[in-house]
Amino acid sequence: MKIIYPTLLAMVFGITTNAQDLTKTMHVSAGTSVYVSSATTVSADQINLKSTSDSFSTLFLDEDLDPSLVVNYDRYVDVIGSSGQNGGNDLISMPIKEAGIVTVSNFLSYTDGTDANSVVIPNAPSLPTLYAFGPYSNTTQNYINYNTANDADVELKRGVGYRAASYTGQTVRFTGKVSRVTETVDISTNTNSWNAVGNPYPTYINSLQFLSQNSAVLDPNATAIYGYNSGTNVVEGAGSFGNFTVINNLTNSSVNIAPGQGFIVANNPSNATGQISFTSAMRTIVGTDDFILGRESSQNEMLRLKVENNSKAYATEIYFNENSTLGLDPGYDAALFDGVSSNLVLYSQLVDNNLGRNMSIQSLGFISLNDIVIPLGLKANQGQQVTFSIETTTLSDEYDVYLEDNLTNTFTLLNTSDYSFTPNTSIDGAGRFYLRIGSQTLSINELNKENLQIIASEQTVYIKGLLLADSKVSIYDIQGRLISTTSLKQGSNSNTIETNNLSSGIYVVKLKNEEQERTTKVILQ
């Protein structure tokens, strides 16, 4: 990346593409970073910051510019998407903002001298006042499109993420002043806990510093940044799931957030509202593109499992590293983004202390490679063939990866072959499929013996896996006192035990029969 320091600023004033006074307007091309140190005078009336689809200019200030100097940021926005298809649209935020209230109407009127934002951003042919621009609502679980007939005076704010589109892949203009102070934005939990926020500075921001600063207000299951990638990484690229690229301590940790980049975070559901903070210390001139193109991620040992039908594909990832456990590891595990519906989804659930949360990324300790059973979940349509396969892996050949379908009582060694089936009814949930990873080849009977999962959600205990004999399930309180006993029949593979009569707390559930035995701690709420 080219960096222009204050001593070279005079050279930049001569770079222009418009017939403007060269002594008054400074143009900063995409990919160029300008750092203005304290006590530096910038002799210009305007600074125009440029961007392309994969390159962004930055302006890093040690102190505020002259109040009369106007900064413009021409922020690239992806082409509008087609309904029902992957790709298109962008999540953006305000890297520059005028003082006071800026409304939807103000934003649409901004112009780069050629086209106003209202010309660049598509509107509906049948309703010209409805624009492809607006925030995400976690109440309706959908993106909102602003309608100037009703929303012209709605205030736009720093730190908020907005979905936007352009007709052909163009830039929209933001104009005003550069912030050098901490910017905050409220996030909430309504129908779901997902919220769209965005970088409020004309610099990159350090992703891991952002996560560290805000970890207390983020969902422990989703202490991550979810960047919309326009569908370009649907089937390829570690840390990419559907239309989203996940950044946390494990995946894409070197990716910084571009100027004017919007993204998704999850509010801690234990609090109705939280407050995200962007601090000036997060600012950096280091970065390349936004989430659209993606990059290689740093990783330890990993397995990326894929499902596909005749038109779509989806993946989930399992990692093995020295920092993780069988339970929840905030900042390493990452929940599935389910804020927008999809008809093909694959995910895993935690091996230990599983409360039913669906995960895009699950991280486990290296020792788990010796023998681990991982619950999987699938959403798929009736009548469409679905194929499971290993898309990519760094595991050595000594590890066998089996997929169990306990409805058909089959085990498929994915190292050597894919598994395909056509569901007779629509599928949406966990309990049918399990992933078994081990360092030794096991017989089917051995897999059946050990492939039992005991999980709890609210006041229900779920027993997942084929029972090889009549079984007894005993529930103990944390002091070891027997609370209840339930009998289950041989051959069943999905059982539930209601515990409405028990108080909230931690319990121990023990299942035992002549062939199998499993003991697990659960939390009843």
Query: What span, in angstroms and rounded, lies between the C-alpha atoms of 196 and 136?
Result: 6
Strands 244-247 and 240-241: antiparallel
Identify the band that residue 117 occupies on the pLDDT scale cut at 50, 70 and 90: very high
pLDDT at 299 over 60: no
The mean pLDDT value for 227-245 works out to 73
Q: How confident is the model at residue 11, as a pLDDT?
A: 35
Identify the band that residue 22 occupies on the pLDDT scale cut at 50, 70 and 90: very low
Find the DSSP H helices in 364-468. Answer: 444-450
Burial class (CB in 10 A: 0-12, 13-18, 19+), 44: buried
Of the ranges 98-112, 265-279, 440-454, 483-497, which one carries the lowest mean pLDDT score?
440-454
pLDDT at 513 over 60: yes
According to DSSP, residue 291 is labeled: T
Residue type, 461: V
The mean pLDDT value for 172-193 works out to 96
The residues, any chain, with a CB within 8 Å of residue 20's CB and separated by 6 or more, are: none
Rounded to the nearest integer, the mean pLDDT of the chain is 87
The pLDDT tens digits for 254-298 are: 899 999 999 999 999 999 999 999 999 999 998 755 655 443 444
Instruction: Say which residue, 315 or 234, is predicted with more confidence.
Output: 315
Asked if 196 contacts 163 with a C-beta cutoff of 8 angstroms, the reply is: yes
Asked if 395 contacts 381 with a C-beta cutoff of 8 angstroms, the reply is: no
The mean pLDDT value for 101-120 works out to 96
**Strand (E) or helix (H) holding 71:** strand 70-77
Distance of CA 280 to the CA centre of its chain: 24
Strands 400-405 and 410-413: antiparallel
pLDDT at 55 over 70: yes
Q: Give the number of residues written for the chain.
A: 525
Asked if 361 contacts 239 with a C-beta cutoff of 8 angstroms, the reply is: yes
The mean pLDDT value for 104-118 works out to 96
The pLDDT tens digits for 349-370 are: 999 888 889 999 999 998 888 7
Query: What span, in angstroms and rounded, lies between the C-alpha atoms of 322 and 198?
Result: 32
The residues, any chain, with a CB within 8 Å of residue 123's CB and separated by 6 or more, are: 129, 130, 131, 132
Identify the band that residue 84 occupies on the pLDDT scale cut at 50, 70 and 90: very low
Identify the band that residue 21 occupies on the pLDDT scale cut at 50, 70 and 90: very low
Q: How confident is the model at residue 449, as a pLDDT?
A: 54
Identify the band that residue 441 occupies on the pLDDT scale cut at 50, 70 and 90: low
